[in-house]
């Protein structure tokens, strides 16, 4: 561990100090080492590239919900969220995996957003295509995902 120095009740941690905390309790225990002092922390939120929980929450609650309501307005037919999800994949080229032949007819096979191989970058590309399609086909503006959702892939932490 690096050197921790103090000056006028401010704590300075040497650049080479790296303290990885997976649980809140560890952070609290670490900060309790400096009672009555001002602690300035710099942190990065790092998530596994395949952990798309925040993007999934955004996807189901923002684009899919907005498209669901707009399709109901336009056509008077209510579709469940899962139906909307399957419907919109057809309009996003990045979601097409390959064509399969069934009884002499070609049918596209689409990627699953639940697959472990579906990365954050795949999800973000899909969302961008979906936003563009919704704007041109349905005349609705879908807000971008929060920048914190644009998680960078990493190899080793």
The encoded tokens of residue 41 equal: 């922390």
Pick from 78, 84, 79, 76: nearest CA to 59: 84
Does pLDDT of 155 surpass 60? no
pLDDT band at 92 (very low <50, low <70, confident <90, very high): very high
Mean pLDDT of 92-113: 86
Give the three-class secondary structure for 105: strand
Mean pLDDT of 13-22: 49
What pLDDT sits at residue 42? 65
Cα–Cα distance for residue pair 119/115, rounded to 1 Å = 9
Q: Which residue has the higher pLDDT, 75 or 56?
A: 75
pLDDT band at 74 (very low <50, low <70, confident <90, very high): very high
Mean pLDDT of the chain: 77
Cα–Cα distance for residue pair 56/119, rounded to 1 Å = 12
What pLDDT sits at residue 59? 92
- Residue 52 has, within 13 A of its CA and on its CB side, a CA count of 22
pLDDT band at 141 (very low <50, low <70, confident <90, very high): very high
């Amino acid at each position: 561990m690096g050197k921790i120095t103090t000056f006028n009740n401010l704590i300075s941690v040497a650049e080479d100090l790296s303290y990885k905390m997976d649980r809140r309790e560890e952070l609290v225990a670490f900060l309790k080492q400096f009672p009555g002092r001002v602690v300035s922390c710099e942190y990065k939120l790092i998530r596994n590239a395949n952990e798309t929980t925040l993007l999934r929450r955004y996807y189901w609650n923002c684009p899919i919900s907005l498209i669901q309501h707009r399709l109901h307005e336009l056509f008077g037919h209510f579709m469940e969220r899962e139906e909307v999800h399957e419907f919109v994949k057809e309009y996003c080229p990045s979601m097409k995996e390959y064509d399969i032949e069934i009884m002499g007819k070609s049918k596209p096979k689409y990627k699953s957003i639940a697959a472990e191989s579906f990365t954050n970058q795949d999800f973000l590309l899909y969302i961008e295509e979906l936003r563009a399609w919704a704007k041109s086909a349905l005349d609705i503006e879908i807000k971008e995902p929060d920048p914190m959702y644009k998680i960078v892939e990493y190899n080793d932490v």
